[in-house]
Chains A and B, each alone.
Chain A
Amino acid sequence: MSPVRRRARPALADPPRAGGAAAPVLELRAVTRVHGEGAREVRALDAVSLAVNAGEFIAVMGPSGSGKSTLLNLAGGLDFADTGEVLIDGTPLAGLRTKQLAELRRRSVGYVFQDFNLLPGLTAAENAAFPLELDGWARRPAFQAAKDALGECGIAHLADRRPEYMSGGQAQRVAIARALVGPRQLVLADEPTGALDSNTGAAILELLRDRADRGAAVVMVTHESRFAAWADRTVYLRDGRVSGITGPSDPGELLGDPDAGSRPTS
C-alpha cells in the first residue's frame, strides 16, 4: 500500500531583516532570450540581471514588446533563457527537469494572469486548491488551505461558485488566492489589474502588497505607473534591456508620469 502524501500547510517564512544576508528568492543573471531566427529574430530580453528578495515587491514596466512578459515567463520556469541564469531560492532553473520545474511551480511560484485564467470547470475553491491537489495534498487540508486563501482575498463566500458566474474582480481575487495558496515564496503577476476598474485594481494590489509585507517576493508586470507605486522598486525595460531601476518615491522621474508616486500609505 502506498502511503498517502499529506503535508501540513507551512507557515510563510519570516521577512528578512534589514541588512540580512539571505539569498534572493528570484535572481536573473545576465539573462538573454531570443525569439525567432534570422530576419525575424527578436531579442526579447538582452542580458537582464535582477534580484528580488523575500518581502520585496517589484514592479516591471515598459512599453509593449519590451520583454516584460518574457521576463515573467522565465522567472516562472515557463520559458527558458538562451543565455544567463534564472535562480529561484538559489536553485538554477536550467538544471531542472520538466517534472522538477512543475513541482517548483506548484510549491514555490504563484502566477497571476491578466485575464485570470481560471479553469472554467472548477469552482473557486477547487481552482485555488488545484496546485495543492496536484502536489499530492489530501483533499481536506488542500481545500481548507484554499478556503483560507479565498478568505484572505475576501471571497470566502464564493468558494463554491464557478468562474463563469463571477465578476472580473472576483475572478482575479480567486486567481490571486490560487497564487498565494500554500507555502509560496514568489508571486508573479502579469498585469493583474489590466482587465479591472481602478477601485478593484487597487484592492488587488493591496492583496499583493500584503503578501509581500508578509514575506513573499512579488514581481508584477504593469503598464500603469500608479499601480507601480505599490511596489518597493520599479524596473524599467526597453527593447529587452533594463533601462532603469527606481525606488518607490520617485517612479515619475523616469517616466514623467504625473500620477506616479501616489502609493497609498498603509
Chain B
Amino acid sequence: MSRRTSGDGARAWRPALRLARRDSRRHRARTVLAATLIALPIAALVAFIGVTASDTPSSEQALRGIPEGADAVITATAISRDAPPFVQLPEGPPGPWMDDAEVLPAGSEDVANVLDPDTELHEYWKSPKLIASVDLGLAPGEQRSAGAEAAGLDAIAFDRLGTVELTEAEPGALSLLVPDLSAGTLPGDANELVVSAALAERLALSPGDTVTLLAPPDAGWRSTDGNTAAAMQDSEHGFRVVGVAAQGAGGAESAAAAGTPAGTPAAGAAAAWALPGWLSGLVDDLPEGIQRHWLATGGDVTWEQTKALNEAQAFAVSRHVLTNYPPASELYPVPLNVGAYIEAVVGIIAMGVVGGLLVLFLVTPAFAVSAEQSRRSLGLAAAAGAAPRDLRRIILSQGIVLGAIGGLAGLALGVGAAVGVTAWFERLAADSGTMAQQYSLASLLTHFPWWVLPVAWPLAVGLGALAALPPARTAARMAPVDALRDRRPAAPSRGRIARLVAALGGPALIALAVGLGLIGFTVPLGEIEMDPELGMRGTAPAGAQTLGLLVAAALICGAAGLALSARAIIGWLGTRGGRARPALRLALRDAADHPSRSVPATLGVMFALAAAAFTLVTGASLVSNMRDSGTTLEWNGTFMVGPAVGVSDDFDRLLATAAVDDIRSDTPEVTGSKPIFEVARASALQLQPFRPAASACEWDEVPHVSSATRPGAELKCVNQMSGAGFNPGFRIGGLIAQSNVFLFSGDAVRATGMPGAEAAAQVLDAGGAVVNDATFISEAGTVRVGVDPDMLADEADTDEFVEVPGAYLRGLGTPFVVSPGTARALGVDATHYLGEIATVSTPLSDSELFGLLDRPAFQSLARVSIPDSTSRLAPANDPVTLAVVWSVPALLGLVAVAAATVAVLLAATQGRRDAATMHAVGAGRGTLARLGVARAAVMLGVGLPLGIAGGIAAGSYQVAWNRHIEASGAWLDTVMMWDTQFTVGLAVLVAALAAALLVARSPRSFVRRGLD
C-alpha cells in the first residue's frame, strides 16, 4: 500500500528537475540558445516598460516650466466669458484653444481676487517673431512707426539682421524669467535689453550696443497669443543692450523642457527680455483678444483657486498643485472616446498575441529538440517505473528551469538596456536643444517601475513552461520500447477521411476566412453619429459588434488555416523529396520527421513575414489615404523660399532671392527662381472659386475624396466631419499669407516639374484657374470664379461670377491658383509677395531637399518649404520618421531570419551524429553546408510565400474594411508595395540562407563527438 503525503508532489518533481539540470548541462549550446531566446523578449519588455514608464511625469515637466522663485504661472485667455469655464489639467491647458479677437481677458484685479491676499502678481508680455538689427539706427528709447515699406531694411546686409522673440516683464517677473547672465546686468529701465547668447552671436552684440527691434505688418493670422501681432504691427523700438544671457542656462532651459509655459523661449533660440514699455504699451492700446500672463509669488495657488480662475477663462500652472496633486475626484472629468479606447485595447492585445506567438515559435523548437535528444533517457526512466506524468515533468522542468534562468538574464539585460536607451535619449535631447527633456537617468532611477521585475520573471518561467508543454506531452505519450531504441513513435495510421482532413483542413479554413470576411461586408452598418462640437463619433454604429466578431473570426480562421497548411505542406514535401538531390532530400525528410521543430520555426517565419507584409500594405495605404484627403505638395525635386517674418514685398523679395542665390552657390542644379504672389488683403476685389451648381453639396457637406481627386467621377457628398471628406488646406505661404488665392505664373507652375504642370501652366497662361478639387471644374472644363470686395463671401452675396478655363492639378500646395495677369484682369488691384520657387535643371533628392532646412545662412530670416516625402511608407522625409517607419518591417524580417536560423542551428545540433556518419561515408564540408542551407530553404520555401501572401491578404482586407467604414478616411487605394514586398522577401531569404550557412558549418573533427 502506498503512502502519500502532502510532500509527495514536490518530491516527485525532484528527480525530474535533476534530470532536466543534467540534460541542460550536457547540451550547453542548446541550453544557452533556449535561455537566450527567452531572455531577449523579456529584456525587450523590461526595457520598453522601464524607459516609457520612467519618463519624466508631465507634472515634473510642468514644474520645470515654473521659473525658480515663482509659485505659479497664470494665463488669462481671450475666450468669451459666456462660454463654458476653461477646463484645465493641473499641468496646464489640455490643448490649444481659440481666442476671440473681440474679448478682453481677465485682468490683474480679477485674478488677484481669486488668490490669497499675500500673493503678488507680476505681469509679463510675449511678442510674436520680430526683426532685430543693429543698423536700423534708432537710439535707445526711440520708437516710431516702421511704415509700410519698413524703410531702411532694404539697405541692410542680411547677416546684420536676425529674428527675435521679446518678453517684457515687470521687475518682479523679469528677474525670474531671465536666465543667468554671462555678461552685463538686468535692465534698469524700459529701454534696456538682455539678449540671449544666440542673438548676441548672430548680431555680434555685447553690453553697451544699440539694437532696434521691428514688428512686421500683421498678416491677419492669429496664433496662440491672440492679437499681439496686430497690436505691434509696423512699430519699431530702439534698445540698449545691458546683458547677455548664458546660452541654455537656468530658466530658459527649464522652460524649453516644459514646452515654455512660462513664456521663455527655448534654449538656443534668439530671445530678448526687457522691462515693460514698448510691447506692453502697444498691447494696452489694443487689449482685446490678447492673452495676459503673470507670475505669482509669495503664496501658494491652490487647486480650488485654479478652478476659480478657470471660471474667468484663465488657467494656472501652480507649484503647490503639482506637488500636491489633486485626487482624481477633484479633477475635471475627461471625456472618453470609447471607439479610440477600444481600438487601442484591441491593438495592444493583437500586438501582444502576435508577439507572444512569435516568441513561442522561436523557443518551442529548442524544447522539441531537447525532448527528442532525451528520448533514450526518457525510455530508461519509463522502464525504471516513471509514469507518463513523470516523463512530462522532466521536459517541463527543463522549460521551467530555462525560463527561470533566461528570465533572470532578461531582467538584467532589460534594466541595462533601459539605462542605455535612456542615457541615449537624454543625450539626444541635450544635443538638439529643442527636444523635450522627457527622459533622463535621474528620472529613470526615481521612477523605474520596479514592479515589472516580479511580473516579468514569472512571465519568463511561464513562457519556458508553455514552450516546453507540447514536447512534454509528446514525451509522455512515448512508448517505452520506442524510446529505449531511440526511435520516433510510429505515426498513428490514419483513415482516408482523417488524411483528407489533415491535407485540406488548412485550405478549408482559409476559404472559411475569406467567406467570413466577405460576409462582413454585406452586414448592414448603421449611421455613425457625429458630435457636431467635438467632431468625433458619439456612438458606435449599429451592427458594429457583429461585424467585429466576423472580422475576428475571419482573421483567426485565416491564421489557423495558414498554420495547418504549412504543416501539411511540410509533411507532403517529406514524402515527395525522393527525387531531390541528397542534401535537399535529407532536409525535406528532416523537416517532415521533426515537425515539432520545423513547424514552429516555419510558422515563426510565416507570421513574422505576414506581419511585415501587413505593415507595408496598411502603412503605405494609410500614407496614400492621408495624401488623398488633403492638400499635398508634390513638387518634383524643387523648393520654395519665403520670409519667416514678412516685412514688405520689396524686402521679402530681396531676402528670398538672396536665399535662393545662397543655395545656388553650392547647389548647381538650382538655376534660378520664379516669384509666387497672392491676392493681398488690401485688394479692392477678392476672388473665390465656386462649384458648378451640379456639383454643389449641402451646406454641411463636403465632396467625398473620390469625387475631389478623380476628375470626372460622380459627385458624392459626405458630412463635413466625415473622415472621407476632402479637406483642402495650404502647404505653402505659412503665417505670412494673407488670403486664399495664390498667384502662380505659368513658369512658376512649370518650375514645380510635376506631371501635368505643363498643361496647368498653359491653362494659367490662357487666363484660366488651377484647382486641387476636381468638383470645382464644370463639365465644360471651366471654373466659376466669384469676384467680390469681401474675402470668402457667400455665393449668394457675391457680386460677380466669371467662368474661366479650369485645370485640375494635385500637389501644387494650395487649393486655388490663377496667374497674376488673370487676377489683375478680374479686378485685383493689390498683390502680396509670398516667396520664390526654385527652378532646377535636375530634381533634387529628398535628402538634398531635407538638408536645405538646416542651412544656417538664412535660418532665422527665411523659411524653406520642401515637397512631401516621396516615400510611400513615410509621411515625412526626416531621417527619424523614415527610420521609425522602416524599422517595423525590418525588425519583423529579422525575427523571420532568427526563426529559420535557430531551427537550422537546432537541427545541426540534433543531427550531429548523422553529420558524422555522412562525413564518414564521404560527404565533404560542402555537402554538410548545403544540408544546412537546404534545411533553411525548406522552412523559408514554405513560410515565406505563405507569410507574405497571408500578410498582403490581411492588409488588403484591413484597407478594404477601412474603405467600407470610412471612419478614418476614404482609403481609396490599396497600396501593395509589390517591389518592397519582393525586396523584403528576398532580403529575408538571402539573410536566412547566409545565416544557415554560418551556423551549419561543420566542426573541425567529428571523430570524438560522433563516432567514438
Q: Which residues of A contact B (CB under 8 A)?
A: 35, 69, 73, 76, 78-79, 98-99, 102-107, 109-111, 113, 117-122, 126, 130-131, 133-135, 139, 164, 178-179, 190
19 A–B contact pairs at CB < 8 A? A35-B1008, A78-B920, A78-B1011, A98-B925, A99-B926, A103-B922, A105-B922, A111-B920, A111-B921, A117-B913, A117-B917, A119-B917, A121-B914, A134-B921, A134-B923, A135-B922, A139-B579, A164-B488, A178-B921
Add 4 more A-B contacts to A78-B920, A117-B913, A130-B918 (CB < 8 A).
A69-B1011, A102-B927, A105-B920, A122-B589
Residues of A within 8 A of B916 (CB): 117
The distance from the CB of B514 to the nearest CB of chain A, in whole angstroms, is: 36
Residues on the A chain within 8 Å of B991, using CB:
none
Taking a contact as CB atoms under 8 Å apart, the answer to whether A102 and B922 are in contact is yes
Q: Is B126 an interface residue (CB 8 A)?
A: no
Docked complex Cα distance between A107 and B921 (Å) = 9
Tell me if B493 counts as interface (CB < 8 A to partner A): no
Q: Which residues of A contact B914 (CB under 8 A)?
A: 119-121
A69 to B585: give the CA distance in the assembly, Å. 31
Chain B residues near A178 (CB-CB < 8 A): 921
**Most A CB within 10 A of own CB, among B488, B579, B585, B916:** B585
Q: In the bound complex, what is the Cα–Cα distance between A99 and B923 (angstroms)?
A: 9
Main secondary structure of the interface of A (DSSP, over half): helix
Inter-chain contacts of A69 with B (CB < 8 A):
1011-1012
B interface residues (Cβ-Cβ under 8 A, vs A): 487-488, 578-579, 581-582, 585-586, 589-590, 593, 913-914, 916-927, 1005-1008, 1011-1012
Give which listed residue, A102, A107, A117, contacts B923 with CB less than 8 A: A102
Complex contact A113–B922 (CB within 8 A):
no
CB closest chain-A residue, reference B594: A121
Q: Closest A residue to B1006 by CB, please name it.
A: A78
A190 to B1007, CA, bound (A): 13
CA distance A164 to B594 in the complex (A): 14
Report the Cα distance A78→B921, complex, angstroms.
10
- Tell me, in angstroms, the Cα distance from A116 to B372 when the chains sit together: 19
Min CB distance A214 to B, Å, is 20
**Docked pose: A98 CA to B1011 CA in angstroms:** 18
Minimum distance in angstroms from B735 CB to a CB of chain A:
71
Q: B923 contacts A73, CB within 8 Å?
A: no
A107 near B1005 with CB under 8 A, answer no
Q: Give the residues in chain A near B923, CB-CB below 8 Å.
A: 102, 106, 130, 134
Nearest CB of chain A from residue B271's CB, rounded to whole Å: 73
Q: Is the CB of B924 within 8 A of A113?
A: no
Per the bound structure, the CA–CA distance linking A107 and B923 in Å amounts to 11
Contact A122-B586, Cβ < 8 Å, known A73-B1007, A78-B1007, A113-B917: yes
Give complex CA distance A35, B487 in Å. Answer: 33
Complex Cα gap A111–B920 (Å): 7
In the bound complex, residues from chain B placing their C-beta under 8 Å from that of A164 are 487-488
Please list the 7 inter-chain residue pairs (A to B) with the smallest Cβ-Cβ separation, ordered nearest first: A106-B922, A121-B589, A102-B924, A105-B922, A117-B917, A111-B920, A131-B922
- Taking the closest CB of chain A, its distance from the CB of B926, in whole angstroms, is 8
**In the complex, residue of chain A having the shortest beta-carbon distance to the beta carbon of B927:** A134
In angstroms, Cα B920 to Cα A264, docked, is 31
Q: What is the CA–CA distance of A135 and B652 in the complex, to the nearest angstrom? A: 81
How distant is A79 from chain B, measured CB to nearest CB, in Å? 5
* A79 lies within 8 A of B1005 (CB): yes
- Complex: how many Å from CA A73 to CA B918? 14
Give the complex CA separation of A178 and B579 in angstroms.
19
State whether B1011 touches A134 (Cβ < 8 A).
Answer: no
Structural contact, B917 and A118, CB atoms closer than 8 A = yes
Contacts of B924 in A (CB 8 A): 98-99, 102-103, 134
Residues of the A chain whose Cβ atoms lie less than 8 Å from the Cβ of B582: 130, 133-134
Q: B921 and A131: CB pair below 8 A?
A: yes
Are B589 and A106 in touch, CB under 8 angstroms?
no
Q: How far is the CA of A98 from the CA of B921 in the complex (A)?
A: 13
Rounded to whole angstroms, the CA-CA distance of A186 and B925 in the bound complex is 22
Kindly state the separation between the CA atoms of A133 and B922 in the bound complex, as whole angstroms: 10
Q: In whole Å, how far is B489's beta carbon from the nearest beta carbon of chain A?
A: 10
Chain B hits for A121, CB < 8 A:
585-586, 589-590, 593, 914
Closest-by-CB residue of B relative to A118 is B917
What is the CA–CA distance of A13 and B923 in the complex, to the nearest angstrom? 24
Per the bound structure, the CA–CA distance linking A120 and B918 in Å amounts to 12
Separation of A64 and B916 alpha carbons in the complex (Å): 22
B922 surroundings in chain A (CB, below 8 A)? 102-107, 109, 131, 134-135
A103–B917 Cα distance when bound, in Å, is 15
Q: Check if A122 sits within 8 Å of B913, measured CB to CB.
A: no
B917 touches A76 (CB 8 A): no
A69 to B920, CA, bound (A): 13
**A129 to chain B: closest residue by CB:** B582
B930 to chain A, nearest CB (A): 10
Closest A residue, CB atoms, query B587: A121
A111 to B586 Cα, complex, angstroms: 20
A121 to B920, CA, bound (A): 17
User: In whole Å, how far is A9's beta carbon from the nearest beta carbon of chain B?
Assistant: 16
**Residues of A with C-beta under 8 A to B593:** 120-121
A139 to B578 CA separation, bound complex (whole angstroms):
10
In the bound complex, residues from chain B placing their C-beta under 8 Å from that of A130 are 582, 918, 921, 923
> Known: A79-B1005, A119-B914, A134-B927. Contact between A106 and B1011, CB under 8 A?
no
The answer to whether B920 touches A76, judged by C-beta atoms less than 8 angstroms apart, is yes
Bound CA–CA A85/B582 (angstroms): 33
Query: Of B488, B1008, B1011, which is in contact with the most chain A CB atoms at under 10 Å from its CB?
Result: B1011
> How far is it, in angstroms, between the C-alpha of A35 and the C-alpha of B1012 when the chains are bound?
13
Least distance between A149 CB and chain B CB atoms (Å): 13
Rounded to whole Å, the gap between the CB of A144 and the closest CB of chain B is: 15
Nearest B-chain residue to A168, judged by Cβ: B485
For the complex formed, measure the closest distance between the CB of A126 and the CB atoms of chain B, giving whole angstroms.
Answer: 7
Asked whether B585 lies within 8 Å of A126 as measured between CB atoms, the reply is yes
Q: In whole Å, how far is A206's beta carbon from the nearest beta carbon of chain B?
A: 22
Once bound together, how far apart are the Cα atoms of A166 and B746, in whole Å? 87
Question: In the complex, what's the smallest C-beta–C-beta distance from A104 to chain B, in angstroms?
Answer: 8
Bound complex: CA A103 to CA B538 (Å): 78
The CA-CA distance from A32 to B493 in the complex, in Å, is: 54
Could you tell me if B921 and A106 are in contact, using CB atoms closer than 8 angstroms?
A: yes
Cα separation A159 to B913 with both chains bound (whole Å): 23
Alpha-carbon distance A102/B487, docked complex (angstroms)? 29
Taking CB atoms, residues of chain B closer than 8 Å to A139 are 579
CA–CA, A117 and B1010, complex, Å? 10
Nearest chain A CB to B906 CB, angstrom units = 16
Instruction: State the Cβ distance, A191 to closest chain B Cβ, in Å.
Output: 12
Bound-state CA distance A130–B487 (Å) is 22
User: Contacts of A134 on B, CB cut-off 8 Å?
Assistant: 582, 921-924, 927
Q: Please name all residues of chain A whose beta carbon is closer than 8 Å to the beta carbon of B926 when the two chains form the complex.
A: 99
Considering the complex, give the chain A residue whose CB is closest to the CB of B919.
A78
Smallest Cβ-Cβ distance to A73: which chain B residue:
B1007
> Whole-angstrom distance between the alpha carbons of A137 and B14 in the complex?
54
B916 closest partner in A (C-beta): A117
| Min distance, Cβ B330 to any Cβ of chain A, angstroms | 72
User: Which residues in A have their C-beta under 8 angstroms from that of B578?
Assistant: 126
Residue in B488, B579, B581, B918 whose beta carbon sits within 8 Å of that of A119 in the complex: B918
B110 to chain A, nearest CB (A): 87
Contact between A113 and B585, CB atoms less than 8 A apart: no
CB-nearest residue of chain B to A139: B579
CA distance A99 to B581 in the complex (A): 19
- Min Cβ gap A187→B in Å is 12
Q: Are the C-beta atoms of B1011 and A113 separated by less than 8 Å?
A: yes
Q: Which residues of A contact B590 (CB under 8 A)?
A: 121
Closest A residue, CB atoms, query B926: A99
Residues of A within 8 A of B586 (CB): 119, 121-122
B1009 CB to nearest A CB, Å: 11
With most chain A CB atoms within 10 A of its CB, the pick from B586, B919, B921, B1006 is B921
B1005 neighbours in A (Cβ, 8 Å): 78-79
How far apart are the CA atoms of A178 and B921 in the complex, in Å? 8
Q: Which residue in chain B gives the minimum CB-CB distance to A102? A: B924
Tell me, rounded to whole Å, the shortest Cβ–Cβ distance linking B917 to chain A: 4
Nearest neighbor of A107 in chain B, beta-carbon distance: B922
A98 neighbours in B (Cβ, 8 Å)? 924-925
Q: Which residues of A contact B917 (CB under 8 A)?
A: 113, 117-119
